[in-house]
Amino acid sequence: MASTNLKMLNKTGNNIFSDECYTPPQAIDPLLSYLPIDWIYYDCTSGKSSKIIDFLKTKNINCLSSKDRNFLEDDLFSSDLPSFDAIITNPPYSKKDKFIERCYKIGKPFALLLPVSSLQGQSRGKLFSKYGIDLLVLNKRIDFTGKGSPHFGVAWYCYKILPKTISHGNILFI
């Protein structure tokens, strides 16, 4: 039992082993009704492949790939990247603090798929308090591995994505 728990922590914890989790459509679908369809989105972690981009294309929503760019270091407003309206991504969990901070620094709307437990944390708490955050909590756990029995819940951490008429500093459970 202990070795099974250790393997699970290595897969989903705050380390490089937890960073290779591709986003299944059932994780993206609840967010769709809140995404303006005329916006251009940027999946800043879509280097090898992106289920987010693939799924949004099936819904006729334009989403750019990061290709070989390093979101945490590159100039996102350089001439080689077309302009975009918002960031939508499932960032590497071991780098979630850096991704949240970078997204706020850029100042564009964003939706980051993160574990619900990401609400906790001193640096994240300060950022959420300073800038605000809306959560779209997925009541059903998402199976990222295809092996069943997901053991943690996720939510879309949104900034300037959800309409103010339904949310502003609120948590929506869907």
- DSSP secondary structure string, 104-127? HHH-S-EEEEEEGGGG--HHHHHH
pLDDT-based confidence at residue 2 (cuts at 50, 70, 90): very low
Domain that holds residue 152: 22-173
| pLDDT at 156 > cutoff 90 | yes
Higher pLDDT, 71 or 33: 33
Residue 132 covered by a domain: yes
pLDDT-based confidence at residue 61 (cuts at 50, 70, 90): very high
**Cα Rg for the chain, rounded, in angstroms?**
16
Instruction: Classify residue 26 as left (phi > 0), alpha (psi -120 to 50) or beta.
Output: alpha
pTM (two decimals): 0.82
| pLDDT at 9 > cutoff 50 | no
pLDDT-based confidence at residue 44 (cuts at 50, 70, 90): confident
Residue 106 covered by a domain: yes
Residue 76 covered by a domain: yes
Residue 26 covered by a domain: yes
Residue 13 covered by a domain: no
pLDDT-based confidence at residue 56 (cuts at 50, 70, 90): very high
User: Taking every pair of C-alpha atoms in the chain, what is the biggest distance, in angstroms?
Assistant: 52
Q: What is the pLDDT of residue 7?
A: 52
Q: What is the pLDDT of residue 6?
A: 41
Residue 4 covered by a domain: no
Residue 74 covered by a domain: yes
Torsion of Cα atoms, 96 then 97 then 103 then 107, to 10° = 160
Q: Parallel, antiparallel, or unpaired: how do β-strands 110-115 and 154-159 relate? A: antiparallel
Domain total in the chain: 1
Going by the DSSP 8-state scheme, the letter that residue 11 receives in this structure is H
CATH assignment of the domain containing 78: 3.40.50.150
Residue 8 covered by a domain: no
Beta bridge partners of 154: 115
User: Per the structure block, which two tokens stand in for 50?
Assistant: 């992106």
User: Per the structure block, which two tokens stand in for 78?
Assistant: 């350089």
